[in-house]
Amino acid sequence: MTTRNTLVPSVLWWFNQSFLLEYVKMPSTPLIEIKHISKNFGGVQALRDVSFRVERGEMHALVGENGAGKSTLMKILSGVQTDYEGALIINGTPVKFNGTRDAEAAGISIIHQELNLVENLTVAANIFLGREKTNGGWFLDDRAMERESAELLGQLDCDINPRQRVSELRVGDQQLIEIAKALSLDAELIIMDEPTSALTESEVERLFRVIDQLLARGKTIIYISHKMEEIFRRSERITIMRDGTHVTTKRCAELSPKEVTHLMVGREIESTALGKNRQPGETLLKVENLSLPWPGHVRQWRLKDVNLELKRGEVVGVAGLMGAGRTELLECLFGATDVAPQGRIVLEGNDVSFKHPAEAMAAGIGLVTEDRKRLGLFSHMNIRENITLCTLSSLTASGLISSRQEREATGASIRKLGVKAAGPEAPILSLSGGNQQKCVIARWLRTEPRLLLLDDPTRGVDVGAKAEIYQIIDELCREGMGLLMTSSELPELMIVCDRILVLCEGRLTGEFTRDQFSEAAIMEAATGSVTTAAM
């Protein structure tokens, strides 16, 4: 064992390390030992020499900001990512997974943040997907699968019909199906990647009851989350990661939530620096009774009767859980929805109803989309082409694009937003997430919008670039632009915004001005009225 070798040099040094105590308490081999794991994604070092261990039967919290490397590490653990440096030791034997099946066979199951279910199949079919039970090897034995599914779900104290289609279930129930699937695989270790990001309060309570049960049955859980109360509620130890490196692993009792946040970020976020002395001007946007139908869904409305007002030189945040309608709200304003919204949208005093994003763009609105890879970037194009795409008509001379003008425009944008790149001709994918996002923002700024919609603009962006994006937002606001932004991270909205609107299941359930900001109150609004609204 490595512990013995390292014990020899300096006993004193070891005394300072708190986890010496743990070896006294838990002398057995850890369930999982992660040793010097590094991973390089083409351009970006996602993991750098990460080592820690997960003991058998513990709930181990893994925290870190977006881009800290948690997800990459979990992908390695669950066999999704098979190419890395370093070693993975399970039950004392080194393993090398060649795919998710290998990981499942070794007793590791992962419940992804974005659930991995086939929505048009039944609950039972999903639980047994890829391992279907058969009669004599040819025909599916639905009855046996349904019986066993009902049993598994019963163990989790939840009442879901195994014959129901997954698409008809609420997100919280869908998550339990993933957990039931993990149980059916007889998983030793269950990894939960931000499991509560889309759950209501009562669903979170139920999830924790299930977690209690799993722990009582001797399962090990790695729990990934941003939310401190959840982390401190049940976990025995916390591992903190930052920028792809392992910061520390400590017992929960030795840390306070504040210390954890501090270690996660690596420095204090100067939350007071932004938003001071902003001078909101006249009303830019007014939305009255905006509703977005949701055909064929029990909820019927993606958005229902939303009212809001936005002034020039103001940043308004939209908070809410996953599926609350944040993205849909921005899409309505941008004319990008499949179904036409109802209600009134007044932009600069004129009633507008956009049928295509091109009309919204012409009216002075820009939208920085949420899912950068899927909806924002043109990955086969270079930086220049990505930045100038929306404004080529201003760079043409007699119908032809002037490459000189285009180069100059790109250069100006790159300088203005501080994009760090090898040059304007570098492929957009060679940039880090933060710089890619700056390019997308630059594309929209070149259209000189008066209203900029930002949908979770710092998702997958490292800490440094985050601060720079906040700075850009602040500057734009002071130049008189109106900004409406959403975020999956509440603290971020509290730093950047003048006001925060809260959506819950498509309805506006709260509005807070800067002096009223409190994480607890906003979360309450985001989850509070859920049970009544859903009925």
Partner 1 sequence: MSELPSSNSSRVNSGKSIWSRLPIELGLLIAIAAVICFTATVDDSYRVKTAYNAKEILRQTSLLGIFALGAAIVIISGGIDLSSGSVIAFSGMICCSIMLALAPVDSAGNPDTTNLGVGILLLAISGTLFVGLIIGTFHAWLITVIGLPPFVATLASLVGLRSLGRVLIQDINAAVTTSGSSTKIYISDPLFNDLGRIWWVPLVVFLVLSFLLWLLMSRTQIGRHLYAMGGNEDAARLSGIRTDKQKWLAYCIGSVTASIAGILYCSYVGEANPESAGMGYELNAIAAAVIGGCSLTGGIGTITGTMLGALFLRVVIDSVAKTVKGSPDEFEGLIVGLLVVLAVAFNELRTGAIRQKKFFAGKLGFVSLFILSGLVGIMGGVLSTSNQLRWGTLCGVLALILLGGKAFWERRSR
Residues that bind partner 1 (CB under 8 A): 42-45, 243, 334, 336, 356-358, 360-362, 367, 369, 374-381, 385, 389-390, 392-393, 396, 399-401, 420-422, 426-427, 430-432, 434-435, 443, 447, 462, 464-465
Question: In angstroms, rounded to a whole number, what is the distance separating the alpha carbons of residues 414 and 55?
Answer: 48
H helix intervals, 8-99: 11-16, 20-25, 70-77
CA angle 492, 497, 501 (to 5 degrees): 95
- Three-state DSSP class for 501? strand
Query: Minimum distance from CB of 390 to partner 1 (Å)?
Result: 5
Question: Which structure tokens are listed for 201?
Answer: 């309060």
H helix intervals, 456-504: 463-478, 490-496
Which residues make beta-bridge pairs with 33?
53, 89
For residues 311 and 384, which CB has a smaller minimum distance to partner 1 in the complex? Answer: 384
- The widest CA-to-CA distance across the chain, in whole angstroms, is 79
Query: Minimum distance from CB of 447 to partner 1 (Å)?
Result: 8
Query: Minimum distance from CB of 280 to partner 1 (Å)?
Result: 27
For residues 381 and 533, which CB has a smaller minimum distance to partner 1 in the complex? Answer: 381
Q: Are 432 and 465 in contact (CB under 8 A)?
A: yes
| Phi, psi of 301, rounded to the nearest 5 degrees | -125, 130
Between the alpha carbon of residue 306 and those of residues 291, 311, 345, 509, the distances in Å are: 7, 17, 11, 9
For residues 274 and 361, which CB has a smaller minimum distance to partner 1 in the complex? Answer: 361
Query: Minimum distance from CB of 442 to partner 1 (Å)?
Result: 13
CA angle 399, 401, 407 (to 5 degrees): 160
For residues 2 and 398, which CB has a smaller minimum distance to partner 1 in the complex? Answer: 398
Question: In angstroms, rounded to a whole number, what is the distance separating the alpha carbons of residues 230 and 219?
Answer: 18
Count of residues in the chain: 535
Pairing of strands 451-455, 59-63: unpaired
For residues 38 and 447, which CB has a smaller minimum distance to partner 1 in the complex? Answer: 447
For residues 389 and 412, which CB has a smaller minimum distance to partner 1 in the complex? Answer: 389
Between the alpha carbon of residue 222 and those of residues 31, 116, 211, 215, the distances in Å are: 11, 18, 11, 11
For residues 227 and 407, which CB has a smaller minimum distance to partner 1 in the complex? Answer: 407
For residues 22 and 243, which CB has a smaller minimum distance to partner 1 in the complex? Answer: 243
Query: Minimum distance from CB of 55 to partner 1 (Å)?
Result: 33
For residues 228 and 453, which CB has a smaller minimum distance to partner 1 in the complex? Answer: 453
For residues 272 and 393, which CB has a smaller minimum distance to partner 1 in the complex? Answer: 393
CA nearest neighbour of 317 among 485, 181, 156: 485
Query: Minimum distance from CB of 46 to partner 1 (Å)?
Result: 11
Report the C-alpha dihedral over residues 428, 434, 437, 438, rounded to 10 degrees. -90
CA nearest neighbour of 271 among 502, 493, 469, 519: 493
Give the Cβ contact number of residue 73 at 10 Å.
28
Give the Cβ contact number of residue 12 at 10 Å.
7
Query: Minimum distance from CB of 41 to partner 1 (Å)?
Result: 10
Query: Minimum distance from CB of 243 to partner 1 (Å)?
Result: 7
Query: Minimum distance from CB of 351 to partner 1 (Å)?
Result: 20
For residues 384 and 507, which CB has a smaller minimum distance to partner 1 in the complex? Answer: 384
Question: In angstroms, rounded to a whole number, what is the distance separating the alpha carbons of residues 9 and 11?
Answer: 7
Question: In angstroms, rounded to a whole number, what is the distance separating the alpha carbons of residues 492 and 66?
Answer: 12
Name the residue type at position 258: K
For residues 80 and 381, which CB has a smaller minimum distance to partner 1 in the complex? Answer: 381
Buried b (16+ CB within 10 A) or exposed e, 392-403: eeebeeeeeeee
Query: Minimum distance from CB of 152 to partner 1 (Å)?
Result: 34
Q: Are 503 and 455 in contact (CB under 8 A)?
A: no
For residues 231 and 483, which CB has a smaller minimum distance to partner 1 in the complex? Answer: 483
Query: Minimum distance from CB of 321 to partner 1 (Å)?
Result: 23
Query: Minimum distance from CB of 4 to partner 1 (Å)?
Result: 36
Query: Minimum distance from CB of 356 to partner 1 (Å)?
Result: 7
Question: In angstroms, rounded to a whole number, what is the distance separating the alpha carbons of residues 139 and 13?
Answer: 63
Q: Are 7 and 14 in contact (CB under 8 A)?
A: yes
